[in-house]
Amino acid sequence: MTTWFTVTPSPIDDLLLTTDGRALTGLYMAPHTIGLDFERDDEHPVLVDAARQLTAWFAGERIDFDLDLAPAGTEFQRRVWDELRRIDYGETISYGELARRVGRPGAARAVGLANGRNPISVIVPCHRVIGADGSLTGYGGGIERKRRLLDLEARLAGGRLPL
């Protein structure tokens, strides 16, 4: 099965977008490698639409995304990722709160691991999850990128998020 990809610029570095041909399957931050069965297609409609919406999001022209998503993961991971999409733009929650929201109040560590395996970052906003004490913890793209994403949302939402 072929996976198509493109690379699009963003304020937080180049983003690698992937699709299975019908939905977005990945959004990865540089540096990231791709599989041998990946084929570059800068004109694939799924990838063009995702890049267009990301550009608008980073410019503050939209606060959410209207894309078909197909992240590969376990049932639990997909439940966590679905819940991430329910966190409002400009808001943050703790890992413990995320665990409560997915019906596993004692599973903050498992939720953190699922959060860290999110294959569609930014669009599935794993950056909105912070430590119980308000600290910025664990982000696959690096804490500085997490801070920049949260600052962008806070500025555009008119608020101030914890740093």
**DSSP string covering 31-60:** S----TTEEE-TT-HHHHHHHHHHHHHHTT
Written as one letter, the residue type at 151 is D
How many Cα atoms within 13 Å fall on the side-chain side of residue 122?
32
126 assigned to active site? yes
Question: Cα–Cα distance between 49 and 67 in angstroms, integer?
Answer: 8
What is the DSSP code (8-state) at residue 161?
-
Two structure tokens written together for 34: 């791709």
Of 69, 80, 84, 126, which one is the catalytic site residue? 126
124 in Cβ contact with 69 (< 8 Å): yes
Do the bridges between strand 15-19 and strand 3-8 make them parallel or antiparallel, or are there none, so unpaired?
A: antiparallel
* Alpha-carbon span 98 to 129, nearest angstrom: 8
Positions marked catalytic: 126
